[in-house]
Structure 1
């Protein structure tokens, strides 16, 4: 059988669109600032924007190794979730006493993102259509059917038609669909409009002490900042301690050509929800503004040693597997072409939700470990970093989620062995009606909730 992904462009659909802003000049001198932000993805841009909203007179500089959104922020599926804890069940496992407050903070955060999109005129196809999680095997129904929002097979098929969908839960308000690259570009433009100075193609090579601040060394200049926000996700090597808690995991996706009216009619999907299945190795999929289908997930690949390489953004075995799964899910779309295929790393941690901290005597704050759910949660993380940098206690800094770190990963080569055993085990669980083996039950007992 011919490979249906063979002719797809090996590049991210979102970043391949027209409308990408021209790159800003790199730093080529020395300067001083109140706040330096390292990284111009969602985390860094929200931090810069919120810092200026809190204090319009504050001088803020952003340093980006590439161009804004070139990594995870521009390559993801565009699911902007209200959840700060990677779902209710994961939050209940890790933060039971504060989960109600975290749920409210997450809802408020999503409302604030929607308001910012409107305020700054960010054209990112923001649609608050919610997310529908579907069961594709009988064993998945038990956990979903307890929800008051459970939809049986007939109701789910009325939303999106697939022979594999047996039931589901539609969270109607807790997730928005966005064009991830255009959201980055819009945040970048909003920051510039408020006076933030952004230098692209300016990697930070090291962080050192300076009089009344920290010195950030770059190839052609340096920045001395009173405080620093580190927002580099999986690409951060500037703070060694984070390597104990964060691993770079590769995620992959396909994009189809636009569907015809007849093809759309064959699947329904009139309410344009984001979708995900309830397996441990799950798929995520959604419609775009021009009626393509993004289909991603399932494989989450860690390479021994945590090595990141552009060559690993393409993985033909995964693309072929994703295409087969797509055909099984939507057989009525047989013959639909894939136009783009891509992958990239996300910053994963053992509790699947972000963690926070400070370094360099409190002059540097960081937020990382979003594990694929950072489109929305990074704005919350930006506020946490700004609060931490004040050195004063706030409601956010008092949260258990902010005060406590996840379980660290063991060093290599044990780390690779643990991760590969875990990947094998969750695949086995999906094949065995969700039954978790001794290894997964042991991880659960120690608060390491792997399910993807």
Structure 2
């Protein structure tokens, strides 16, 4: 057996971030009827930011958050910890979809990232926040032009390998100011603690069963009790929710991740990597990777797996075919780390929308708000989404709610079997584009109608 074959055979199927002895104990479930000014459904970043921002706006508000499992148990505790300023899934996507307002979208994204960093400092959240930006690398000749040769931040092969040394790098672009790295689980736990200190009530293992407008209030039924709420926020993202209108615009996509054993001093010297800098490559099917505070390499991405029927099941979390592929790609990228083993493997469900970024709306005569469809960039954009939803519930136009990005909805994905067929064709076309550097007719048609598939 030659490396990397079998390199993850002894790994645990558990997110590195959640495999932590300092994880807070489970909070009590809701077992008595309750009333709230604001009920939040979902204990990931979107829900947690909404709870915190609601109480920062109005310290007297009675805020209740319910989570079906544990705080940060799903996407918020399973991602790579890249917290980006972009609320549009990158500049190219933002400019293409909202060219006349991209400047303000970019400014709002940078402001949002600054406010995330300020929140971490204000509430003393120990999440290892490091502001070194993102290094985007080209590993194929046709990818170099997209990195902007001659522009600020562009790095040729020699320069990029001084930042991170891989023989696969042909060029790079370093954006130092528009992204931070965090331990996402610790960030989520810190936000939960901060919200509770301000007066929020958080209940875990409390699953929403139904939601109804009763005229004087919104009635939420859990698996055990009833909740009366003046206003509601739905923050379930890829997971089922009670609003039928959200069942087609989002598809659940599985993203897979490996984490190595801690690197030795010699191994760190061999790759010359500043741990404050995250890396992604330029493929349409891309990898993202970073060093963790305990000197591991977190290596994820590439495969974005959609299961027929928008299926979300526990058995989808472990997919040897994808983990094998990730291990081989890691070995090609860092041959100087030959023999290193992976201690953790895991996956998570991404809420993918056809426009690649979150969309927003209301129900129940404006008393329920939702945000979903973050398409892999929810760590940072979830805070922006929280403010959008609170603005929508207030009912007064703001700079955020006047945005076309907020007012317009994406085209929905079709029902089955068309969704499955379309996604498979799109993934085939994306693989072809990575090889050739050219978008074929299928992808150009999707571009024309503002649709796409990403993770």
Same fold (TM over 0.5): yes
Q: For 2:59, which of 21, 35, 56 is the aligned residue?
A: 56
Given that residues 159 and 271 in structure 1 are in contact (C-alpha distance below 8 angstroms), is that contact kept between their aligned partners in structure 2? no
Given that residues 82 and 109 in structure 1 are in contact (C-alpha distance below 8 angstroms), is that contact kept between their aligned partners in structure 2? yes
1:40 match: secondary structure: coil
Q: After superposition, where does 1:5-404 map in structure 2 within 5 Å? A: 5-146=8-149, 147-270=151-274, 272-404=276-408
Q: Find the aligned partners of 2:445 and 2:152 in 1 and give their Cα distance.
A: 31
Given that residues 426 and 451 in structure 1 are in contact (C-alpha distance below 8 angstroms), is that contact kept between their aligned partners in structure 2? no
Q: Find the aligned partners of 1:392 and 1:270 in 2 and give their Cα distance.
A: 45
Residues 85, 291 of structure 1: CA spacing in aligned structure 2 closer, same or farther, 3 A cutoff? same
* Structure 1 unaligned regions, length at least 5: none
1:269 match: secondary structure: coil
Taking structure 2 as the reference length, what is the TM-score of the superposition? 0.98
Give a deviation string over 1:86-134, Cα, whole Å, max 9, x none.
1000111111111000000000000000000001110000001100000
Q: Find the aligned partners of 2:81 and 2:444 in 1 and give their Cα distance.
A: 32
Q: Find the aligned partners of 1:167 and 1:73 in 2 and give their Cα distance.
A: 31
Given that residues 250 and 301 in structure 1 are in contact (C-alpha distance below 8 angstroms), is that contact kept between their aligned partners in structure 2? yes
* Post-superposition offset of 1:310: 1.1
Given that residues 131 and 276 in structure 2 are in contact (C-alpha distance below 8 angstroms), is that contact kept between their aligned partners in structure 1? no
Number of equivalences = 451
Residues 440, 203 of structure 1: CA spacing in aligned structure 2 closer, same or farther, 3 A cutoff? same
Give a deviation string over 1:119-172, Cα, whole Å, max 9, x none.
111000000110000000000001112542211111101100000011111110
* Structure 2 unaligned regions, length at least 5: none
2:360 match: secondary structure: strand
2:256 match: secondary structure: strand
2:144 match: secondary structure: helix
Q: Find the aligned partners of 2:61 and 2:50 in 1 and give their Cα distance.
A: 12
Give a deviation string over 1:255-292, Cα, whole Å, max 9, x none.
00000000000000125300000011100000000110
Partner in structure 2 of residue 3 of structure 1: 6
**Range with bigger deviation, 319-328 or 27-36:** 27-36
Give a deviation string over 1:162-198, Cα, whole Å, max 9, x none.
0001111111010000001100110010011011011
Q: Find the aligned partners of 1:75 and 1:188 in 2 and give their Cα distance.
A: 17
* Post-superposition offset of 1:372: 0.3
1:107 match: secondary structure: helix
Given that residues 229 and 365 in structure 1 are in contact (C-alpha distance below 8 angstroms), is that contact kept between their aligned partners in structure 2? yes
Q: Find the aligned partners of 1:91 and 1:71 in 2 and give their Cα distance.
A: 27
Given that residues 93 and 447 in structure 1 are in contact (C-alpha distance below 8 angstroms), is that contact kept between their aligned partners in structure 2? no
Given that residues 259 and 342 in structure 2 are in contact (C-alpha distance below 8 angstroms), is that contact kept between their aligned partners in structure 1? yes
In the TM superposition, structure 1's runs of 4+ consecutive aligned residues that sit over 2 Å from their partners are 145-148, 449-452
